[in-house]
Amino acid sequence: MLLKREHGAEQPHWPLGPFKIRIPFVHYRWEYPEMIQGLIMFVVGLAMIPLLQKYLGMPYEAALAFCVVAGVGYMLPALLGVPLVPGWITPAIPVVILYLQGFEPGPEAIKALFALQIEVFLIFLVLGITGMGNRLVTVIPNSLKSGIIIGAGIAAMMGELKVGGRIDNTPISLIIGSIVSAYVLFSLSFKNIVENNVWAKRISNFGMVPGMILAMLVGWAVGEYPMPDVQWGITNPDFALMWDYLVFSTGMPDASTFMLALPTAVIAYVIAFGDIVVGFTLVKRVDHLREDEKIEEGITRVHLVTAIRNGIHAFFAPWPGLAGPLWTAAHATVAERYALGRKAMDSIYSGGGTFWITGFFALFMLPLVSIFKPVLPIALSLTLVLTAYICIMVGMEELKNSTERGVAGIVAVTLAMPDPKSTVYAVVIGLVLYFLIERSHHIGTRDKEDLSILGDSTADLEAGDTHGRKLPAN
C-alpha cells in the first residue's frame, strides 16, 4: 500500500539511524518517464567499461560485472534518503586517469585504484560522522566553491574539445546531440513551446534522452560508430572472473601507493563537494515551486551514503569514475520535471529512485546492452558536455558580486589546467585571494569586505553600491 504524503510534509519513510528508508510502491509511486529514461541512460554507466579495459586490463565480461556492482550503488541514495541522482565524480576522471597511467595495467593498477578509492571512502566517512560536511558548506568561501564548480565544468568541456578528443573523432553526432539535449533541457524558447504543445511537453519529460538517441542515430548514419550486433537474452556478467581483478586476489597496495593516491583523493573530494553544492542548488531552484513537499538537505547523509558507495567499490569494483554524489545531467532532468508539479512527479525521491532501479535491471537486458555497446563513448561525451554547462551556470549564479567573480574566475582557470596538481593549486590560490582581496578588513583599517579597486566597477562606486552599504564621505 502506497503511503501518502500530506501537503507540505516530508515524503514518508522508515527511519534507520541517520538514514531514511524509502521503497518504491510503498513510500513513493513509480514514475514512468524516469523508467523510460533509465532504460536508455543506463548506457552511461556502461561507458566506464572501455576505461576498465584500458587502465585495469580487464576483459569485457568482468568489466560488465563491475557495472552491476556500480548499479547497486546507484540505487542507494534514493533508498537511504538522499534527494540527489547519484553518478560519478565525473570532472575528476581526467585526474584519476593521469594517476593510473603511472601504473602497469593489471594487478598494479588495481591496487593503485583500490588505494585511491578507499581514501575517498575514508574522507567522506570522517566528514559524514563528524558532521564536518555541514560546516564546510558555510566555512568554504563562496568564491572558492563557485570557482571549483566552474573550473570542473571547464575541465569537463575541454576534455571533449581537445585535439584528439571525441569532438575530433565524432564531430557530427556529438555536436548534434549536445545541441538538441541542451535545447530540450535549458532553452527558454522550448519551455514556452512546452506550455502550448502537448508533443513538446512529452519530449521534455525525457530530458537528455531525445538528444542521446538522435546522436546515436546520426553516429550510425554517418559512419562515426559501427552498427550494433543485436543479441537476445540476458547478459552474462562474469562475477567469478571479476574476483581476479579485486584486491583479494592481487593483494593490498603498499604504503607508498597510499601516499601517491592521497593528493588525487583530496582533489576528487573537492570536486565532489562542488557536486554536492550544485545538486542542492538545483533542488533549491525548483523547491519553491513545490510547496506540497518538504525536501531535507542532509549534507551529512550525502557524505555517509557516498562513503558507503566508495567503500563497496574499493573492495568489489574499483571504479575510475569513483562514486560521486551527483550525476548532474540526470539530476537536472529530474529536477526540471519535478518543477512541473505533483501530477508530473510525486516526489523528488520517486524520480531518482525509479530512474536508477530501472537502470539496474537494464544491465541484464542483453538486447539493450548489445544495441548500445558500439556507442558507449557518445553517452559519456553528452554527459560531460551537459555537466560542463550546468556547472558553469550554477557556479556563476552563486557569485554575489564582482570581487567574488574575479576570485572565482582565477580559481576556475587554475583548476581547468591539464595538470594533476591543478586542483591543489586552485584551492591554495583561491584561499590566498580570498584573504587578500575579499577579506580586506583583515589587512586594512576599514571594513570593505566586498570592495576592491579591481573588483567593483566605476558605476558601482558612483551609485554607492558596496553590496548593501553606503560609501563613507571623503
Asked if the structure places residue 417 within a domain, the reply is no
Residue 417 and residue 413: Cα distance in Å, rounded?
7
Asked whether residue 437 is assigned to any structural domain, the reply reads: no
Q: Determine, yes or no, domain membership for 467.
A: no
pLDDT for the residue numbered 468: 39
Concatenating the DSSP letter of every residue in 63-127 gives HHHHHHHHHHHHHHHHHHT--S--B--GGGHHHHHHHHTTS-TTHHHHHHHHHHHHHHHHHHHHH
Contacts with 269 (C-beta within 8 Å, 6 or more apart), sequence order: 120, 123, 124
Residue 469: the pLDDT is 37
Residue 257 lies in a domain: yes
Structural domain range at position 346: 14-170+225-398
CB 387 within 8 A of CB 68: no
Give me the numbers of helices (H) and strands (E) for the chain, helices first please.
24, 4
Q: Which amino acid is at 227?
A: M
Q: Which three cell numbers stand for residue 209?
A: 534522452
Is 444 within the bounds of a domain? no
Give me the pLDDT at residue 466, please. Answer: 38
Residue 302 lies in a domain: yes
Torsions phi, psi for 340 (to 5 deg): -75, -10
How many other CB atoms are found less than 10 A from the CB of residue 130? 12
C-beta separation of 237 from 67 below 8 A? yes
C-alpha cell of 9? Answer: 510534509
Cβ atoms within 10 Å of 467's Cβ, excluding its own: 15
Our count of domains for the chain comes to: 1
Q: What is the pLDDT of residues 88-112, one digit of tens each?
A: 988 778 778 878 888 899 999 999 9
Asked, for residue 463, whether it belongs to a domain, the answer is no
| CB burial of residue 464 (10 Å; 0-12, 13-18, 19+) | exposed
Q: How far is the C-alpha of 386 from the C-alpha of 19, rounded, in Å? A: 30
Q: Is residue 96 part of a domain?
A: yes
The C-alpha cell at 284 is 533549491
**Which residue ranges of the chain lie beneath pLDDT 70?**
1, 133-134, 136-138, 165, 205, 420-421, 423, 440-474
Q: What DSSP string describes 372-439?
A: HGGGHHHHHHHHHHHHHHHHHHHHHHH--SHHHHHHHHHHHHHHTSSSTTHHHHHHHHHHHHIIIIIT
User: So what's the pLDDT on residue 358?
Assistant: 95
